Homo-oligomer: A and B are copies of this chain.
Amino acid sequence: MNFRTDLALERKEYIDRHDLDGIVSHRKTVDGITVDTITVTNKEGEKILGKPIGKYITVETVPFTKNSDLFSPSLYVLRDELKSLLPEEKGCVLVAGLGNGEITPDALGPKCISMLFATRHIPEDFAREIGFSSIRPVAGIIPGVLGKTGMESSEIISGIVKKINPCAVIVIDALASRSTDRLGRTVQISDSGISPGSGVGNHRKTISEKSLGVPVIAIGVPTVVDGRTLAFDILKKAGVTEEQINNTDIKDTMMVTPKEIDELIERASRLIAMAINTALHPEINEEDILSVVS
């Protein structure tokens, strides 16, 4: 493939063969929102799609830069899809916000954690006192980036998982998509973990159920297109042949983002954070959550 994408949906679109052994697709529409589910069921599917076995749910929302209600259909669809991947057990969940808070398109993860309703430290007595019969323990971490911490996010998360024994881990990260059209309107939720390489930098090694020992749910939003990917796309649309393209010297050090990336990140972070908060705390009123975390 002459392009880079973190979206299973985009990889599938590219495959031009009919027998997709090991890849099952399903599309539905909920409250006007399209939800695509791609399931990779075996090694053959892994090879074809280039993504590990697991479920990849893609939710297309209205563009994040458009003004939108705080409690929109997108929120509830995301919440429900996220719930469908969470283990039934009501144990502690660790939420990790990957990425570099200093680079706007990569700040999605850190910003989500700043709006997370962390509850693991709240004693049961106190929870009951303030009116909750039970409150699910939730913990949050911003691991930071390799260049500043000297550690892979996967190392930090793995260390914490061993210490606090959550029943599941949710990781949030900015993604790269192939097309600028998807930036700011797509959310991918997956149970296959996160593989190396990312939207912006290389800030992770694999974070998955296999590496951590507990289910890992990855939530990602495409915020950049790889510079080289954009270039190839443009050339292809202009009718330049693959061979010509391969002869072109295009460096791989650039990223492409919308000019209004600050608003996109702000809105996407709030949406993702609230989807996680409402999925993990169904017993708490969402307005109460919002007033606590924002």
Main secondary structure of the interface of A (DSSP, over half): mixed
Q: A67-B292, A227-B230 are in contact. Are A240 and B240 (CB under 8 A)?
A: yes
Q: A150-B140, A164-B155 are in contact. Are A238 and B230 (CB under 8 A)?
A: no
In the assembled complex, the Cα of A138 lies from the Cα of B180 at a distance in Å of 33
Identify the stretch in A8-16, A37-45, A78-86, A113-121 within 8 Å (CB) of chain B at 4 or more residues: A113-121
In the complex the two chains form, is A118's CB within 8 Å of B147's CB?
Answer: yes
Q: Could you say how many copies of this chain the assembly holds? A: 4
Identify the stretch in A23-31, A185-193, A244-252 within 8 Å (CB) of chain B at 4 or more residues: A244-252
A66 to chain B, nearest CB (A): 10
Question: Could you mark each residue 53-82 of chain A with 1 if its beta carbon is under 8 Å from any beta carbon of chain B, else 0?
Answer: 000000000000001111000000000000
In the complex the two chains form, is A141's CB within 8 Å of B144's CB?
Answer: yes
In the assembled complex, the Cα of A84 lies from the Cα of B230 at a distance in Å of 42
In the complex the two chains form, is A200's CB within 8 Å of B259's CB?
Answer: yes
In the assembled complex, the Cα of A149 lies from the Cα of B120 at a distance in Å of 8
In the complex the two chains form, is B262's CB within 8 Å of A250's CB?
Answer: no
CB neighbors of B among A137-180 (8 A)? 137-142, 144, 146-152, 155-156, 158-164, 180
| A contact residues, range | 35 or more
Q: A100-B262, A103-B262 are in contact. Are A139 and B150 (CB under 8 A)?
A: yes
A22: interface (CB < 8 Å): no
List B contacts of A253 (CB < 8 A): 180, 258-260
A218 to chain B, nearest CB (A): 20
In the complex the two chains form, is B292's CB within 8 Å of A149's CB?
Answer: no
Measured CB to CB, the residues of A under 8 A from B are 67-70, 100, 102-104, 113-114, 116, 118-122, 137-142, 144, 146-152, 155-156, 158-164, 180, 200-201, 225, 227, 230-231, 234-235, 237-240, 244-245, 248, 250-251, 253-262, 270, 287-288, 290-292, 294
8 A-B pairs closest in CB distance? A120-B150, A159-B163, A118-B150, A159-B159, A139-B150, A102-B262, A159-B160, A231-B234
